[in-house]
Amino acid sequence: MSEPVTAQDLIDLGERVLQDSTHLFDDHDNRLEAEQLLAFSLDIDHDDLDADLEPPRRTRERYLSLIARRAGGEPFPFLTGSIEFYGLDLKVKPGAFVPRPSSELTVARAVKRLKGRRKPLVVDVCAGAAPIALAIADEVPGAEVWALDIDEEALRQGRGNARRLGIRNMHTRATDMYEGLPADLEGKIDVITGHVPYVPQGELEDMPTEVRDHEPIYTLTDESEDGLTLMRRAIVEGAPLLRPGGWMLMEMSDDLAKKVRKLYRKADLEDHGVASDDDGLSIVVEGRKPKESRGPTKAAR
């Protein structure tokens, strides 16, 4: 086969190589990724790509080496150094969980639940590099958003993006779950969001290289059999932090919804069902603290 020279040929080849890779999730849009990597190599916008363009040899080599790295399992945002998340250009580095486009649903649900609140308080637990917290803080400038994570390095990345983007209403705390949240916020939180690790221990080895070899293991799993130890803590320890009428919004894969809704009910949260988006990759389970606190049950008195 002759060497690919035009943008069209290079994209076709890149798409095929990514499709054949066994190191990636199979739900990526490989053609789009190939186009984006070619645009990145050419230092032009994706929209300006022209199928008949003939990139110089050095650019072609650069592009093919990026395709090879991607096919080997490197997360896409590590190749370009950034990801667009809820309209924000976030810089991304190895060492933390890579923000997923599917988490935009969590942001959208939080923004909906915050509508009409003038100075709402938001907690994003297991915030990582804080894409969810940053996007909420940006969308709802009157909100005070707390991003909590056990990993200071991930939060440092979040703070870097906040500075660059001029987002000033996000605070970060390196802490085990909610422990580092100021005590005077207890019972006042309007929305808790959480994209908590939830992969069961036994399913880790089924994850592709792009996840297993490039994201710290504690970002994926709490290493319990059902994967829900941290989820339980997020719900049980989070419920008392909510104000009456406040919302708990946990992101996960849809197979976990039933179990998590049960955990909500056990924590005395009203079950408001499951939100999903078109691609159905992730869902958000929604619960609400009753407006009138029911007080202790007979058995607990």
Where along the sequence are the contacts to ligand SAM (CB under 6 A)? Answer: 97, 99, 103, 126-128, 131-132, 149-151, 154, 176-177, 195, 197, 218-219, 230
Half-sphere exposure of 217 (CA within 13 A, CB side): 9
Nearer residue to ligand SAM within complex by CB, 14 or 197: 197
Nearer to ligand SAM, 21 or 103 (CB): 103
C-beta of 39 vs 132, nearer to ligand SAM: 132
What is the closest distance, in whole angstroms, from the C-beta atom of residue 245 to ligand SAM in the complex? 24
Q: How far is the CB of 119 from ligand SAM (least distance, A)?
A: 23
Q: Is the dihedral of CA 90, 96, 101, 103 positive or negative?
A: negative
Distance of closest approach, residue 124 Cβ to ligand SAM, in angstroms: 7
Q: What's the min distance (Å) between Cβ of 192 and ligand SAM?
A: 12
Strand partners, 89: 84
Question: What distance lies between CA 107 and its chain's CA centroid?
Answer: 9
* Complex with ligand SAM: residue 78 or 218, whichever CB lies closer: 218
Distance, CA of 101 to CA of 28 (rounded, Å) = 11
Q: Which is nearer to ligand SAM, 41 or 161 (CB)?
A: 161
Minimum CB distance to ligand SAM smaller for 128 or for 227:
128
Contacts of 297 (CB under 8 A, 6+ apart): none
Cβ 57 to ligand SAM, closest distance in Å? 38
Smallest separation (angstroms) from ligand SAM to the CB of 6:
37
Place of tokens 């089924």: 206
